[in-house]
Structure 1
Amino acid sequence: MIDKSFDIKDLSLAGQGRERVEWALTEMPVLSAIHDRFVKERPLAGARISGCLHITTETANLARTLKAGGAEVVLCASNPLSTQDDVTAVLVQHYHIPTFAICGEDGSAYYRHIGQALDHKPQLTLDDGADLVSELHKNRSALLAEVIGGTEETTTGVMRLRAMAEDRALRFPVIAVNDAMTKHLFDNRYGTGQSTLDGIIRSTNILLAGKTFTVAGYGWCGRGIAMRARGHGAQVIITEVDPQRALEAAMDGYRVMPMLEAAIISDFIVTATGDKHVLDKTHFEVVKDHCVIANAGHFNVEINIPALEKLSVKKHRPRKGVEAYRLKNGRTVRLLSEGRLVNLAAAEGHPATVMDMSFANQALSIAYLWQHGADLKNAVYPVPSDIDRQVAKMKLAAMRLSIDKLSREQQNYLSSWKEGT
């Protein structure tokens, strides 16, 4: 099993963590209902689960729910800067969930903690970015025989897993929770939109109104960031490589142009693509003086930080979480949160209300895999549609909203080809 029961910063933070976890739970009625059901039904009895996730208050409530369903849960961090140390303390001290994560840990500690989570010999995996699954396949392949399935939380992870499946390297089925309608339509758009702006404002305290604000990528996360930036009064530019998304951005009223043009006039640039070097050397060479750059994609490769370092003659930290790079051309670039997820590194991540739906999908999908994973092929699957719809219905009920139902006549009409004009 586990050589050491936990590796966290400070157990004495547990009291503070418990208050915040319980606060988040008040905004998570769907997951609360699933927790209560899991207590009664124990759908995960005997399951060993290793999770590599952002260790936040909302994640703590997901872990509690899985444990209530009968699972043995172990957690590690999916990002070195997103861990909330008071949450790791409460997970260990009060909820007795082994946790391996320390905010600010270096790369060596990060992968050591993933290894400790894998020492649990998981039958099910929870991942956010696919680092745990990748490590399992590359360096701990002896454990693969016991793995029944896993779930993936974010766009970057789904992309990596689909590449593994395409190469026939994936050794167990994975459900792409990220692609559930009740996840990407809400978590990615409203959650990322609000929390990214929150992280930028906390870091800089710069008024957004009247500023030129560029968003790289017009996926669901990019849509949300652009929408919230415009709501603050910013003049928003979208950069894209996909012609359909670029066209949609233009139809939504945003300016669309290449990044090389946008960099010259932008006061803020935020990447949200899932790709690498979206902001590169050529952009830094022309970027506007004192431009603030940040990343809302999963990994810190979207901004080519080594290239920025080479172009710089001086670096200092004017504010917490802000690195000001003085370039050889005399301009200054302000990098937030070391290029890591700014909404988690500089703020608190998504509000609990949207994580309620994301983690409801996680909990129900994990239970589904525990029951049906052995019958699935080694591929990336969508969240079963009945789970996605169930989460939406539960969220509507929690919001005390009701909707219409189709009559039998309407159902027959929609399923028939015989009636027309």
Structure 2
Amino acid sequence: MSTYPPISEQLDDLEAARTEGRRKMDWALQHMPILQELRQQFREEQPLAGATLGMAMHVEAKTANLVELLALGGAEVAITGCNPLSTHDDVSAALDANDDITSYAKRGVDDEAYYAAIEAVVAHEPTITVDDGMDMVYAIHEDYPELIDTIVGGAEETTTGVHRLRAMDEEGELKYPVFAVNDTPMKRLFDNVHGTGESSLATIAMTTNLSFAGKNVVVAGYGYCGQGVAKKAAGQNANVIVTEVEPRRALEAHMEGYDVMPMNEAAEVGDVFITTTGNRDVITREDFQAMKDGVLLANAGHFDIEIDLDGLSDLAVDEYEARDGVRAYEMDDGRRLNVIAEGRLVNLAAPVALGHPAEVMDQSFGIQAVCVRELLENGAEYDAGVHDVPDALDREVAEIKLDAEGVEIDSLTDTQAEYMDSWSHGT
């Protein structure tokens, strides 16, 4: 049995923290109409009654509103962070004040405490897991396989986590069903593109007090997140350069009007570098040696492995904090390379980071909520492995959002629907 303490036992001024955390949550919820609608449904219908949820997520105000929604639906929830620098302690404390929620998330913990907190969540013996990065699924399979038989299923929030899950599934090692929330349209088309693009650039600008206009912004990776960063940077009058390893994505970036080149060439001309690949060693020692004085280095991928910080530190003759959230690495020729948020997920790990906009996360967390409901109502229909979110659930969340926005759309006539479903119609 875990002895790791919840956040309420780790803070000095607990009541003040809870008050501030609740204030943040209430502000976010005002701008999350999908969760507002689902709160009413879940409160009345209690679709999660009897369930125990284990969650590893970015514990901030928007996530907290998802957690409360799940608790309102009848679940007991235990949660911790999925990144050591993305937790807001006041929000974590506000969650822990709910009798149906236990939060172990605390900002700035070391690796030992980070994994101890995950073990503390697992000790609640969850019947559903909700992950952002797959660390909880991994911990259960590696260290607590005896729990797998009682787990109905799970949901995974982010690109990196889905990649890990699919690799695990391909090897036959994933032992319960998990919805790839990241891959469904209501998540990837908005959260990954608009959320990552807007929040990453906003955080970099606030952290550095610098403009993107006229700068060469190098975006590593042109998946949905990279597309969002490139689009938003171009919208702020930056010159966008894309680096890629996948030829079709590289061609797409080229035809969108961006410069496309290898990283070792981009390193010579870039002013700002933002990694979005989910892979390791994207910017390396050779690239650092070619960079200009004063460049900014930031990562918008889940783990802090995309920028080779060990290699950068080896090259540096001095390191110091240039600003809150900015660490300068001085080279022997006097050049200074500036790393934001320790190379961690910049839009959540920088000191001023607030994550994606509330309106965007409303959509992603609406999907998470209906996926948890689906697992509890129909979990027996899903075999072990990675599953796409059922299209009906994705459409349900889209319809709630459109209704909240006052947007009306057309519907197919019976004749149109029959035509689209038929293979025999010609000209």
Query: TM-score scaled to structure 1, two decimals?
Result: 0.97
Matches of 1:289 and 1:264, distance apart in 2 = 10
Would the alpha carbon gap of residues 358 and 75 (structure 1) be closer, same or farther in structure 2, given more than 3 Å must change?
A: same
TM-superposed CA distance for 1:110, in Å, is 0.4
Alignment pair present for 1:308 and 2:339: no
TM-superposed CA distance for 1:4, in Å, is 6.1
Aligned equivalent of 1:381, options 378, 381, 387 = 387
TM-superposed CA distance for 1:357, in Å, is 0.7
TM-superposed CA distance for 1:142, in Å, is 2.4
TM-superposed CA distance for 1:2, in Å, is 6.6
Aligned equivalent of 2:360, options 339, 343, 354 = 354
Matches of 1:388 and 1:51, distance apart in 2 = 21
Q: How does 1:113-132 map to 2 (within 5 A)?
A: 113-132=117-136
Which amino acid in structure 2 is aligned with residue 396 of structure 1?
L
Q: How does 1:166-245 map to 2 (within 5 A)?
A: 166-245=170-249
TM-superposed CA distance for 1:280, in Å, is 0.9
Alignment pair present for 1:396 and 2:402: yes
Contact 2:7–2:93 (8 Å) recurs in 1? no
TM-superposed CA distance for 1:93, in Å, is 2.2
**Alignment RMSD, CA only?**
1.4
Matches of 1:415 and 1:73, distance apart in 2 = 42
* Structure 2 partner of 1:298: 302
Contact 2:2–2:119 (8 Å) recurs in 1? no
Aligned equivalent of 2:284, options 273, 277, 280 = 280
Matches of 1:45 and 1:3, distance apart in 2 = 27
Matches of 2:265 and 2:214, distance apart in 1 = 19
Which amino acid in structure 1 is aligned with residue 250 of structure 2?
A
Aligned equivalent of 1:69, options 52, 69, 73 = 73
TM-superposed CA distance for 1:143, in Å, is 2.0
TM-superposed CA distance for 1:416, in Å, is 3.1
Which amino acid in structure 1 is aligned with residue 265 of structure 2?
E
Q: How does 1:52-63 map to 2 (within 5 A)?
A: 52-63=56-67
CA-to-aligned-CA distance 1:95-129 (integer Å, 9 cap, x gap): 65210111111111100100101110111100000
Matches of 1:151 and 1:414, distance apart in 2 = 32
Would the alpha carbon gap of residues 237 and 126 (structure 1) be closer, same or farther in structure 2, given more than 3 Å must change?
A: same
TM-superposed CA distance for 1:407, in Å, is 1.3
* Structure 1 partner of 2:420: 414
Which residues of structure 2 form unaligned runs of 5+? Answer: none
* Structure 2 partner of 1:372: 378
Matches of 1:180 and 1:418, distance apart in 2 = 30
* Counterpart secondary structure, 2:213: coil
TM-superposed CA distance for 1:3, in Å, is 4.7
Would the alpha carbon gap of residues 150 and 294 (structure 1) be closer, same or farther in structure 2, given more than 3 Å must change?
A: same
Alignment pair present for 1:86 and 2:90: yes
Would the alpha carbon gap of residues 419 and 7 (structure 1) be closer, same or farther in structure 2, given more than 3 Å must change?
A: closer
TM-superposed CA distance for 1:378, in Å, is 1.2
Alignment pair present for 1:45 and 2:49: yes
TM-superposed CA distance for 1:419, in Å, is 3.9
Query: TM-score scaled to structure 2, two decimals?
Result: 0.96
* Structure 1 partner of 2:151: 147
Would the alpha carbon gap of residues 25 and 2 (structure 1) be closer, same or farther in structure 2, given more than 3 Å must change?
A: farther
Matches of 1:202 and 1:97, distance apart in 2 = 33
Identity in percent: 47
* Counterpart secondary structure, 2:107: coil
CA-to-aligned-CA distance 1:147-185 (integer Å, 9 cap, x gap): 111100000000001111111111111001001100000
Matches of 1:211 and 1:99, distance apart in 2 = 42
Contact 1:199–1:345 (8 Å) recurs in 2? no
Which amino acid in structure 1 is aligned with residue 392 of structure 2?
D
* Structure 1 partner of 2:327: 323
Matches of 2:257 and 2:399, distance apart in 1 = 32
Most deviating of 230-239 and 90-99: 90-99
Contact 1:35–1:68 (8 Å) recurs in 2? yes
